[in-house]
């Protein structure tokens, strides 16, 4: 029997990871292919592939949105693809994997003339960034929620001498806030990017590049640039520094760390830091002084990017943009981003109720879970609907999300924690104008649901 093993993983390690695994398993069974899928989710790897299973497999399929270590697949036929392809067309992806998989080699390949063959680095840039995001997300969620809880006693409840001061609030603020978990956000992001490029050797210089970016005022954007800088400097130092085997350990624990940290730090401080800090000041000023017309444009862009690929590259890109503003103390762009992310699953859930005859029994059941996913800001809850009918679903949810994001900006809603969805509004002092923010989401949800009802044809097979 033909044997396939696969690995699925996405930047956040939540919905995409498991949806892709399920799609691959179902498609393989239909093709009478033995399959096992390892999921590398937010809490670590599950259903881990054994050495025997890898050895006996005909093909290894990696469906990912970030870097996956392929060392254990050396000598096997490996095929890599973006995780979204597994969700949208697992059967076609499996066929392509068996046709186009190539033997994995972990050593640098060389051309016949002895020169190193050029790696196609540009397609990898997104994966490096998403690996950094996957490192950062648990830090952001943990820190953000703990910080939000500290606000229950008041915005200044962590300040000694303030009438609202509470020692528990002060402790939670320290743990979750800028001096704790959220203060690690940029260094961890940079470390993840550097790790993706240079493996474990890149973590040290990546962490330091993110920390330096914070110190010199280059913030989130400086951390991203610093992570790439640290990763590539480390990668090429490992390649260029040649030492005898007897002192190879010195290279690993002394030469590479010292040189990579030093070079990355000096470049950030003297070359990159100042212009990035200046750019951030301009961006912060522009975002703080948006007129109504510009807010409408930003809202349309934000909502459309959040809904278009539902957790994919565009979704993560606008999230990164909002985090630049968030790190500078401007909380309105993130509220708009979260409004746009919450809306697609909610719009689809509402549409399955308002237009029951337009949806199959299975879609109506998915609509029930979409309420919870949407409220929790898990935009991926809309993916099953979009996969089955993309040309109708995606434009409708983009319009709905644009309405939500635009109204969020017009209402000057602001969220002081970088996660939480609708649940964050239940925590006192986290939101500015929370009722208007929820009202804006309701408007976007209704618009999206009605548009879906108007354009969908109905029936089980559309």
Which two three-digit tokens encode residue 413? Answer: 């809603």
Which DSSP helix (H) or strand (E) runs through 41?
A: strand 34-41
d(CA 120, CA 117): 10
Please, are residues 330 and 426 in contact by the beta-carbon 8 Å criterion?
A: no
d(CA 404, CA 301): 11
Which of 160, 147, 28 is closest to 91 using CA atoms?
A: 28
Give one DSSP letter per residue of 125-148, joined into a string.
Answer: HHHHHHHHHHHHHHHHHHHHHHHH
**Reduced to 3 states, what is the DSSP secondary structure of residue 35?**
strand
Please, are residues 250 and 215 in contact by the beta-carbon 8 Å criterion?
A: no
Q: Per-residue b/e over 281-307, b at no fewer than 16 CB within 10 Å?
A: eebbeebeebeeeebbebbbbbbbbbb
d(CA 200, CA 314): 28
Is 396 noted as a catalytic residue in this protein? Answer: no
Helix 390-410 to helix 292-308 angle (10° resolution) is: 150
Helix 256-267 to helix 219-240 angle (10° resolution) is: 140
The one catalytic residue in 10, 415, 442, 443 is 10
d(CA 261, CA 267): 10
Which positions are catalytic? 10
């Amino acid at each position: 029997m033909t044997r396939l093993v696969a690995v699925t993983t996405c930047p956040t390690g939540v919905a995409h990871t498991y949806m892709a695994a399920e799609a691959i398993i179902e498609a393989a069974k239909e093709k009478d292919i033995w399959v096992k899928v390892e999921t590398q989710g937010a809490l670590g790897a599950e259903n881990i592939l054994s050495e025997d299973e890898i050895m006996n497999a005909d093909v290894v399929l990696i469906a990912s949105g970030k870097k996956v270590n392929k060392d254990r697949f050396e000598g096997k036929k490996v095929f890599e693809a973006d995780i979204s392809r597994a969700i949208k067309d697992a059967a076609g992806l499996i066929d392509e994997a068996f046709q186009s998989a190539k033997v994995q080699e972990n050593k640098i390949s060389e051309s016949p003339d002895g020169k190193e063959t050029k790696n196609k680095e540009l397609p990898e840039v997104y994966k490096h960034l998403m690996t950094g995001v996957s490192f950062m997300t648990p830090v952001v969620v943990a820190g953000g929620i703990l910080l939000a809880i500290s606000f229950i006693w008041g915005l200044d409840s962590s300040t000694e001498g303030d009438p609202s001061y509470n020692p528990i609030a002060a402790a939670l603020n320290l743990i979750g806030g800028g001096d704790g978990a959220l203060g690690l956000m940029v260094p961890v992001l940079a470390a993840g990017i550097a790790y993706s490029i240079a493996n474990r050797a890149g973590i040290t210089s990546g962490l330091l590049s993110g920390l330096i970016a914070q110190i010199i005022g280059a913030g989130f954007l400086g951390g991203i640039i610093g992570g790439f800088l640290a990763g590539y400097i480390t990668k090429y130092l490992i390649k260029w520094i040649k030492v005898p085997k007897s002192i190879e350990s010195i290279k690993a624990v002394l030469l590479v760390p010292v040189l990579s940290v030093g070079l990355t730090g000096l470049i950030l401080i003297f070359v990159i830091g100042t212009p990035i800090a200046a750019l951030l000041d301009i961006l912060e000023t522009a975002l703080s002084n948006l007129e109504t017309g510009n807010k409408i444009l930003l809202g349309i862009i934000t909502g459309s990017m959040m809904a278009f690929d539902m957790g994919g590259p565009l979704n993560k890109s606008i999230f990164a943009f909002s985090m630049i503003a968030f790190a500078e103390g401007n909380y309105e762009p993130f509220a708009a981003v979260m409004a746009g992310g919450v809306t697609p699953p909610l719009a689809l859930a509402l549409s399955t109720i308002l237009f029951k005859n337009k949806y199959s029994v299975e879609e109506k059941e998915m609509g029930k879970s979409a309420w919870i996913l949407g409220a929790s800001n898990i935009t991926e809850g809309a993916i099953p609907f979009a996969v089955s009918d993309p040309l109708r679903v995606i434009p409708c949810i983009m319009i709905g999300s644009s309405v939500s994001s635009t109204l969020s900006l017009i209402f000057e809603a602001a969220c002081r924690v970088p996660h939480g969805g609708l649940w964050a509004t239940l925590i006192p002092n986290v939101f500015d104008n929370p009722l208007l923010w929820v009202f804006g989401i309701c408007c976007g949800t209704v618009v999206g649901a009605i548009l879906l009802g108007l354009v969908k044809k109905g029936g089980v097979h559309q």
